[in-house]
């Protein structure tokens, strides 16, 4: 199956970290309109065991994943929430303090396949950081500028990193409704 579409990006702030005995608590997922692309780059450690003049075994461990999101709109309220900035809803202004700390968040989205299936993805724990800003003047042709934000995602204490529901039928409204009601559909 080939991925032919990407939609319904949501994020949820982790309000309480997980511990050895309790699961983390997240806010209700919030949708960001206009996801254009997502890029997931794992950072891996690989070790190879050698003996008898040959490789006997190899192990790979993923430390973290860098996730870059490009969206058509990233409202100030959502930027502030994702980056730990202050947003004043009455004045519609965002301010950045020198000691701002990004919260842990989960992100969720879905990918459409060429066979009419939907793959749901959830990355459980990561922090976003400010990314570079680019703007261009109008030229001979009209171009859209996208908002980009990059995060580093790691495993939770329960060792959960990613949750996938693959090959759900595109007409399965039950999975879609429960998926975005809570982080990872409550899984």
What integer pLDDT is reported at residue 128 of this predicted model?
96
Q: Which own/partner contact pairs does 44-51 have at CB distance under 8 Å and 24+ positions apart?
A: none
Assign residue 114 a region (left: φ > 0; alpha: ψ between -120 and 50; beta: otherwise): alpha
Across the range 14-24, mean pLDDT stands at: 88
Across the range 145-166, mean pLDDT stands at: 87
Residue 47 sits at φ, ψ, to 5 deg, of -130, 140
Q: In terms of pLDDT, which residue wins out, 166 or 32?
A: 32
Across the range 68-85, mean pLDDT stands at: 94
**β-strand 35-51 against 54-71: which pairing, if any?**
antiparallel
Residue identified by tokens 């000691």 is 99
Please answer whether residues 152 and 65 qualify as being in contact, where contact means their C-beta atoms are separated by less than 8 angstroms.
Answer: yes
**CA atoms of 177 and 63, how far apart (whole Å):** 32
pLDDT at 73 over 70: yes
**For the chain, what are the domain ranges?**
3-44+61-186
Across the range 64-77, mean pLDDT stands at: 93
Q: How far is C-alpha 158 from the geometric centre of its chain's CA atoms?
A: 19
CA geometry: angle 99, 102, 105, nearest 5 deg: 165
What integer pLDDT is reported at residue 141 of this predicted model?
85
């Amino acid at each position: 199956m080939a991925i032919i579409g990407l939609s319904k990006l949501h994020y949820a702030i982790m309000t309480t970290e997980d511990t050895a005995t309790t699961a983390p608590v997240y806010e209700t997922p919030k949708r960001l309109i206009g996801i254009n692309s997502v890029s997931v780059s794992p950072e891996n450690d690989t070790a190879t065991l050698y003996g008898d003049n040959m490789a006997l075994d190899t192990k790979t461990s993923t430390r973290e994943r860098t996730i870059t999101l490009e969206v058509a709109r990233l409202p100030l309220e959502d930027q502030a929430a994702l980056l730990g900035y202050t947003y004043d809803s009455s004045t519609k202004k965002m301010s950045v303090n020198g000691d701002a700390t990004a919260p842990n968040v989960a992100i969720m989205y879905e990918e459409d396949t060429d066979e009419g299936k939907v793959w749901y993805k959830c990355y459980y724990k990561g922090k976003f950081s400010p990314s570079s800003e680019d703007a261009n003047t109008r030229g001979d042709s009209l171009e859209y500028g996208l908002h980009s934000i990059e995060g580093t995602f790691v495993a939770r204490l329960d060792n959960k990193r990613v949750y996938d529901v693959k090959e759900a039928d595109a007409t399965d409204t039950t999975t879609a409704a429960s998926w975005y009601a809570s982080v990872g559909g409550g899984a």
